[in-house]
Chain A
Amino acid sequence: MASVALRSVSKSFGHVPVINDVNLEIADGELVVFVGPSGCGKSTLLRLIAGLVPVGAGDVVIDGEVVTDIPASKRGIAFVFQSYALYPHMTIARNIGFALETLGLSRQEIDAKVAEVAVTLKIDHLLARRPRELSGGQRQRVAIGRALVRQPEVFLFDEPLSNLDSDLRMEMRMEIAKLHANLAATMIYVTHDQVEAMTLADRIVVLNKGCIEQIGTPQQLYHAPQNRFVAGFIGSPRMNFTAVSANVSGASCHLMGPGNLSLDVAITGPGVPAEIGVRPEALSIAAARQGKLTGTLERLEDLGHEHLAYVRIAPETAWSVRLPNSLARTALGTSIGLDWRFEDLFLFDKDGHRLDHSLSHERSAAANGALA
């Protein structure tokens, strides 16, 4: 097993910079998830670590050794592709054992290893088949088996579950979590699926436009995002934002905004709030003019286990509210209030950095508590 480190890694395709000066330390046995919107460079970063793409500048370090100029085949890594990338003309057994054929093992040794991996992944009844005779979930198991059999130092997963339907995705997610627990291997996992990121990761790396926005545990990212991008990216539905104007006098600060917003907050650090954010699940419905914000109920969505309400607080801004119960008795178009607990309020300055206020440190403490 091995640690992985990126030191000032940059990469451009032609004149387009894709990765900008990324520094990252991944501990031995850690499962780190890269998330970010499409085009943020998360897959490229994974391929740089794998050696499938040469770095433009900086160094990739695996197990303390600089591997920047070492080919992918010698880096002791295994890569699981989104498309599975199985060899279509080979049986499942040969697909899994193919990499062992060049290691000078005997046929029996290879067969034994393949059989062992197949049993672990519950694909031992499929060994004589070919990839096209398998379902998507089975193919993904084979792809993981192919990585597993080589006993690599580091596992790299590039959106491995994106081509599966939601049931299978949940099942495979648990398999991967179990695998990580059993092997205690270093794993780096790229996904655009927040649920995968939140449930699998020891730490999450949020990427945006080729830069790291924040690195932290799932709880840290959710409860204490460093900036507006991370706050908006982690959580579903996404955090509600609205611009505010601030009137600062000493440590206290008066905020005015759409929806009759009028709030006093105590800023504990430097910076002037320009925007506030509240998560949909932190909002509750109050009578009109009773909450901190007032808006018009525009739409209700009944998802069975939860209900989403969309409340328009300004012509260009609608907030989503996540409710455990239906709002059946409230007619669309009526004016309602929105309320939240004070510690659920996020403040951002004009550059998107999150500002601490008098109650936000409790949240950070809670996050650190959850981590420990």
Chain B
Amino acid sequence: MVTAARPRTKKPNYRWMLHAGLIAGAVLMLYPLLWMIGSSFKPEGQIFSDLNPIPTSLDFSNYIKGWTLGTGVSFTTFYLNSFMICAGAIVGNLFSCSLAAYAFARINFKFKPVLFALMLGTLMLPFHVIVVPQYIIFNTLGWTNSFLPLIVPKFFAVDAFFIFLMVQFIRGIPVELEQAAMVDGCNRGQTFLLIILPLLTPALVTTTIFTFIWTYNDFFGQLLYLNNERKYTVALGLRQFLDASGQSSWGAMFAMTTLSLLPVFVIFLFFQKRLVDGIATTGLKG
């Protein structure tokens, strides 16, 4: 630090340097992304010969080419499939995790501490430990090559992270509200639906956002269960660019990778604060 000797007089200068450093760091971090976005608008020959991410002209032909590349099935199908799986997973998580969270947070039942510890334990269980038996189950049911293996488990609260998130949230809601409802004759089910669920909205929104991002970005599960091109998701569709090692599809590939990042990025723009809060308070992996 040059400023150590006379901090008072040099302080503005120091701030300016800090900002310069931070901006330089940010540009360096984002450069690969900018290069990818720029390349998606460049003609094929220019992509690797040009380090400047800004294209000379805005050419959408890569996007048109990339969208239909592959053998007949276009990205229209892939996006529809991805969004269907995401929607199913979101509904499943909202339904099952909120129910479980209410039980853990508010109701006293037998073996609750044991079950709660078990739930926390599954937070650390690697997916790979359960993947083989799960595959056997879904294979036996004839569910492979369908979206069911990716959606149905969510209806049974397998994402303990969200239960934990909601338990923490419900504990912050004053008990008196429920007591008043119960005095008025509400049973547990009504209390949950009429009192807890509306107050739980922020946690439900966080759950929705993170379920979407995780499901949309998931690759392992989709790779495992979906092997017909008509069932492919965006992630699997993108992988086809690697299989088809045609030299001339870089532009189309960058166009489709750029586009595939858009949904998550839009969510980031709209829900930035909630994402940041979700990570800061529970360590949810963004």
A and B are interacting partners? no
Contacts from A to B (Cβ < 8 Å): none
